[in-house]
């Protein structure tokens, strides 16, 4: 004993000694009332300072593993360890339908995995090489020096007040009237959407949305047991005639739309269509959940107001926002802007789920935003992504034979092939080191097997060209 102890460099030595002895006690190698080596002995065995051993023994005493006898030394406490008969539960039989569905709808677990050296068009996360980490660091140091202790303690479910204020103003700058509305900070869009459905729907309710649509939204709607009706898209957004038709057939509790650089098609719903859509849903009194996805990533054309701006003081649109596709998704900060009364309920649900979103992250992010860093960053990011977007579009036209290429901005394009299955293309491409997202996962009704989404945000120009070429070659090969 003790002689076999190997010290590593990464952990303080007193912790290693403490953990080693604990381990000996817990495993029964050191028994109740057994005497430990004196601090002098152990320090010489381990070739460490005596103080280090004294410190380790103090911790062991603090934690109730050993006791000291004056003038005699350290002894192992009666730690009451008892090994009971092993008891195993077959967890597979205990998981409910919700748990099973969550697992089977979890595409991260079931789609092809990226392997080193591959060119991946799967991601639509921002390119972290664009992040201005130094500004973020500065924001951290500023905020922490002002109120480090406070933001590391419990905060409020609704969010960090200065961030709420900042975002309310941000939303106002999009033309949204904020009187009578309020804002809840969430762990990204995903939590925002989940909270809204948790508060407003029951199993078996119907919801209407675009088809195809954001895969995570489909997953969450399915997990809430909703019946999903998807409406086809044309180049300027949802097909309004089909929408009207469906609305007469069935009662819908809610509607969900991604008007800007839609996921997966990257199409933009025109201003006229937004108005029309608003009027139609108003006439049926079906609240709109507007996904603010990618709104910041317009590269050309005039400003188009979010649907939430159309209603003035009206409260019928629930806007869910997030910067995660642009900036710092790792900190998971998003928001819901909605009617005050609704936010009040959502706040209670949020509190029951996880108390609040990290106050540290909210405070740093707020400091970062208030300093004007977001504006500077988005200017830079837009430039880089615009270039990539245009290049990707060009390469797609040049190399990938297809029926249609969609995409007017954002971080991805969407391709409709002709007479070829995207999953077969993926299989062959995968062998050649290129992967992408097959489009069928965005469809509600099992269609889309001839579509694919190509995310280019984290891929270099050179690799975009190389990767698209390979995809094109495979498509040609399979068409014959």
Min dist CB 353 to a copy of itself, Å, is 6
- Please say whether the beta carbons of 2 and 37 come within 8 A: yes
* Alpha-carbon span 41 to 20, nearest angstrom: 16
Backbone φ and ψ of 414, nearest 5°: -125, 135
The sign of the CA dihedral 405, 406, 412, 414 is: negative
Q: Which of residues 426-455 bind a copy of itself (CB under 8 A)?
A: none
CA dihedral 226, 256, 265, 443 (to 10 degrees): 10
**Segment holding 384, helix H or strand E:** helix 373-399
Q: Is the Cβ of residue 90 or residue 462 nearer to a copy of itself in the bound state?
A: 90
* Alpha-carbon span 164 to 174, nearest angstrom: 15
Interface characters, 257-276, with a copy of itself (x: CB under 8 A)? --------------xx--x-
Helix axes 461-479, 373-399, angle to 10 degrees: 30
Largest Cα–Cα distance in the chain?
91
User: Among residues 31, 115, 161, 279, which is the contact residue for a copy of itself, using CB under 8 A?
Assistant: 279
Min dist CB 145 to a copy of itself, Å, is 8
Q: Is residue 316 within the footprint of a copy of itself (CB under 8 A)?
A: yes
Min dist CB 315 to a copy of itself, Å, is 5
Min dist CB 90 to a copy of itself, Å, is 9
Instruction: For residue 41, give the 3-state DSSP assignment.
Output: helix
Of 39-47, 215-223, 232-240, 437-445: span binding a copy of itself (CB under 8 A)? 215-223
Q: Is residue 150 within the footprint of a copy of itself (CB under 8 A)?
A: yes
Q: Which among 211, 125, 122 has a CA at the least distance from the CA of 426?
A: 122
User: Among residues 33, 51, 234, 352, which is the contact residue for a copy of itself, using CB under 8 A?
Assistant: 352
Backbone φ and ψ of 407, nearest 5°: 145, 120
Q: Is residue 384 within the footprint of a copy of itself (CB under 8 A)?
A: no
Interface characters, 76-115, with a copy of itself (x: CB under 8 A)? -xxxxxxxxxxxxx-xx-xxx-xxx-xx-xx-xx------
Strand partners, 75: 35, 67
Min dist CB 69 to a copy of itself, Å, is 15
Backbone φ and ψ of 71, nearest 5°: 75, -5
Interface characters, 155-194, with a copy of itself (x: CB under 8 A)? x-x-----------x--xx-x----------xxx-xx--x
Of 37-45, 121-129, 442-450, 464-472: span binding a copy of itself (CB under 8 A)? 121-129
Q: Is residue 463 within the footprint of a copy of itself (CB under 8 A)?
A: no
* Alpha-carbon span 152 to 144, nearest angstrom: 9
Q: Is residue 22 within the footprint of a copy of itself (CB under 8 A)?
A: yes
* Alpha-carbon span 354 to 219, nearest angstrom: 21
Q: Is the Cβ of residue 125 or residue 405 nearer to a copy of itself in the bound state?
A: 125
Q: Is residue 9 within the footprint of a copy of itself (CB under 8 A)?
A: no
Q: Is residue 146 within the footprint of a copy of itself (CB under 8 A)?
A: no
Q: Is the Cβ of residue 353 or residue 416 nearer to a copy of itself in the bound state?
A: 353
User: Among residues 184, 208, 310, 392, which is the contact residue for a copy of itself, using CB under 8 A?
Assistant: 310
* Alpha-carbon span 353 to 192, nearest angstrom: 12
Q: Is the Cβ of residue 150 or residue 235 nearer to a copy of itself in the bound state?
A: 150
- Please say whether the beta carbons of 420 and 448 come within 8 A: no
* Alpha-carbon span 371 to 475, nearest angstrom: 48
What is the number of H-type helices and E-type strands within the chain?
16, 17
Strand partners, 255: 208, 288
User: Which residue shows structure tokens 């649109």?
Assistant: 317
* Alpha-carbon span 224 to 316, nearest angstrom: 21
Q: Is the Cβ of residue 345 or residue 391 nearer to a copy of itself in the bound state?
A: 345
Of 63-71, 236-244, 256-264, 395-403: span binding a copy of itself (CB under 8 A)? 63-71
Q: Is the Cβ of residue 249 or residue 313 nearer to a copy of itself in the bound state?
A: 313
Q: Is the Cβ of residue 54 or residue 349 nearer to a copy of itself in the bound state?
A: 349
Q: Which of residues 331-350 bind a copy of itself (CB under 8 A)?
A: 331-332, 339, 341-342, 344-346, 348-349
Q: Is residue 278 within the footprint of a copy of itself (CB under 8 A)?
A: yes
Min dist CB 402 to a copy of itself, Å, is 29
């Amino acid at each position: 004993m003790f002689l076999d102890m190997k010290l590593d460099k990464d952990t303080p030595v007193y912790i290693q000694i403490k953990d080693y002895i604990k381990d000996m006690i817990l495993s029964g190698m050191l028994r109740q009332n057994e005497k430990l080596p004196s601090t002098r002995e152990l320090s010489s065995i381990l070739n460490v300072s005596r103080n280090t051993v004294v410190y380790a023994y103090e911790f062991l005493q603090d934690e109730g593993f050993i006791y000291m006898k004056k003038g005699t030394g350290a002894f192992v406490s009666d730690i009451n360890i008892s090994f009971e008969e092993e008891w195993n539960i077959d967890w597979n039989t205990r998981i409910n339908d919700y748990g099973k569905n969550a697992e089977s709808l979890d595409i991260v677990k079931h789609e092809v995995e990226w392997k080193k050296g591959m060119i991946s068009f799967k991601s639509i996360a921002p390119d972290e090489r664009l992040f201005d980490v130094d500004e973020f660091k500065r924001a951290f140091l500023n905020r922490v020096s002002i109120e480090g202790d406070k933001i590391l303690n419990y905060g409020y479910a609704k969010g960090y007040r200065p961030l709420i204020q900042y975002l309310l103003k941000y939303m106002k700058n999009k033309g949204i009237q904020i009187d009578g509305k309020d804002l809840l900070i969430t762990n990204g869009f995903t939590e925002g959407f989940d909270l809204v459905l948790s508060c407003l729907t029951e199993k078996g309710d119907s919801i209407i949305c675009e088809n195809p649509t954001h895969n995570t939204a489909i997953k969450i709607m399915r997990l809430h047991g909703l019946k999903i009706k998807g409406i086809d898209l044309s180049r300027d957004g949802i097909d309004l005639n089909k929408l009207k038709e469906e609305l007469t057939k069935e009662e819908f509790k809610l509607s969900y739309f991604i008007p800007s650089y839609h996921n997966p098609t990257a199409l933009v719903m025109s201003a006229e269509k937004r108005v029309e859509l608003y009027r139609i849903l108003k006439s049926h009194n079906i609240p709109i959940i507007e996904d603010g996805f990618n709104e910041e990533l317009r590269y050309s054309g005039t400003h188009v107001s979010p649907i939430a701006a159309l209603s003035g003081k009206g409260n019928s649109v629930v806007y869910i926002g997030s910067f995660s596709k642009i900036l710092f998704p790792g900190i998971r900060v998003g928001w819901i802007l909605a009617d005050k009364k609704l936010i009040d309920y959502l706040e209670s649900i949020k509190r029951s789920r996880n108390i609040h979103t990290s106050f540290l992250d909210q405070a740093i992010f707020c400091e970062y935003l208030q300093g004007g860093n977001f504006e500077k960053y988005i200017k830079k990011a837009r430039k880089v992504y615009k270039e990539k977007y245009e290049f990707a579009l060009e390469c797609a036209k040049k190399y990938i034979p297809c029926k249609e290429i969609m995409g007017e901005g954002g971080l991805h394009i969407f391709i409709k092939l002709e007479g070829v299955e995207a999953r077969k293309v993926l299989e062959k491409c995968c062998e050649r080191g290129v992967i992408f997202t097959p489009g069928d996962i965005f469809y509600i009704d099992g269609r889309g097997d001839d579509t694919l989404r190509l995310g280019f945000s984290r891929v270099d120009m050179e690799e975009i060209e190389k990767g698209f070429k390979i995809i094109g070659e495979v498509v040609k090969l399979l068409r014959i």
